Structure 1
């Protein structure tokens, strides 16, 4: 759906902790379960991977993966101009606290997807203004595997100059499957 809605956009999937856990589970199955080998034969693939499962090559979506040999999830991000976009291994209790602490730890402008919350922290330093954002999530807010969480549906739209040395982050909060961006209302 993302590619269809944005046929000419550069789309990047940054592997986060959920994909990391999926890969770890799949690797355990590969070693222990003969069904994995049978599934490979049926699907006619050498290996079941996130790229194959999500048809990323067919959809022209770039994957920013982690080292396959790591045992624990770690920070994963890309840098576009003066903005670091990623999935860091940090969560604090309240919205925007993670953004604040990432900015303090990393000292860079960043977008964080990991917390499933929406929040912003801005800091003025001798070197200029830095900002960090938690961009929300698009998953269920009440999954079966956890108690009610302090999560919010949302995403970020980012506009910038050609080199992204200057940019504006628009945090979009989705309430009851509806949001406004620009002068339009979008409903799900």
Structure 2
């Protein structure tokens, strides 16, 4: 992320394989290919991990967590193909964190066994870096606890998100109030923009929508919006432009 030149990034997230929307996924890939950004950020929850969640599960579903991981890995490989030179970053979401929680609940014996194959499921980097073969694709991984201070994009916080409110925009405001500076997050599956100006200058917080199915079997008529965000910085990085891009059946206008 060299300074003294313009920088463009495409940001999206919350794919939730296998509950992804193939059209939205295709739209995100097409957008990245069209924009040719310097950076691409997926804001997390790339895999739903429903099999190891605390919620009730559909016993008729036959897909395994491993098959869902293969789907996510195939998507990341496609993302790398359409953005061969871009800096790609994948953030950990609360759904990926289900893996750590499941292992911790299983107890010390299972944790000791899992350590033997050096998968690293308990380590700070998390097993996802290896499970999704991120190093093979040149994709950076940022864990939940590191996101608020990781240098992913210029002068803006990139995080999966921890707050959620009833309405789009309220969450963006609450995230901004926590940090008092510009940021972008997912988690809510909504698109919104919150702007603020004071004696410290201008700041914004953006909710980046989702790329998952808008009508999942586990949720009735959710207030979700599919899309992505294009961020552009001037040569000296003093000015940032934001463009929220909504998807409809995978189609968009920029």
- Larger proportion of helix: 2
Q: Mark the CA change 1:147 to 1:130 in structure 2 (over 3 Å): closer, same or farther.
A: same
Runs of 4+ in 1 over 6 A off after TM superposition: none
Shift of 1:16: 1.4
Q: Which runs of 5+ in 1 are unaligned?
A: 68-74, 182-188
Is 2:231–2:240's contact at 8 Å kept on the other side of the alignment?
yes
Counterparts of 1:28-43 in structure 2, within 5 Å, are 28=105
Shift of 1:155: 1.1
Deviations 1:139-158 (A, max 9, x none): 11122222221111111111
CA distance in 1, matches of 2:242, 2:165: 21
Q: Mark the CA change 1:110 to 1:32 in structure 2 (over 3 Å): closer, same or farther.
A: same
Q: Which residue of 2 aligns with 1:90?
A: 163
The answer to whether structure 1 residue 135 and structure 2 residue 212 are counterparts is no
Q: Which residue of 2 aligns with 1:76?
A: 147
Is 2:144–2:160's contact at 8 Å kept on the other side of the alignment?
no
Q: Which residue of 2 aligns with 1:172?
A: 245
Q: CA RMSD in A?
A: 2.6
Deviations 1:117-151 (A, max 9, x none): 00001111122111111010111112222222111
Match of 2:232 among 159, 167, 173: 159
Q: Which residue of 1 aligns with 2:219?
A: 146
Shift of 1:85: 1.1
CA distance in 2, matches of 1:54, 1:96: 32
The answer to whether structure 1 residue 58 and structure 2 residue 131 are counterparts is no
Aligned residues: 169
Indicate the SS of the match to 1:179: coil
- Larger proportion of strand: 1
Q: Which runs of 5+ in 2 are unaligned?
A: 1-77, 122-126
Shift of 1:171: 1.1
The TM-score normalised by the length of structure 2 is 0.59
CA distance in 1, matches of 2:106, 2:238: 45
The TM-score normalised by the length of structure 1 is 0.78
Q: Which residue of 2 aligns with 1:185?
A: none
Of 58-67 and 115-124, deviating more is 58-67
Which structure has more RCO (C-alpha within 8 Å, separation ≥ 6)?
Answer: 2
The answer to whether structure 1 residue 3 and structure 2 residue 80 are counterparts is yes
Q: Which residue of 2 aligns with 1:120?
A: 193
Deviations 1:24-73 (A, max 9, x none): 2255468677xxx6x999xxx53262112211011100000146xxxxxx
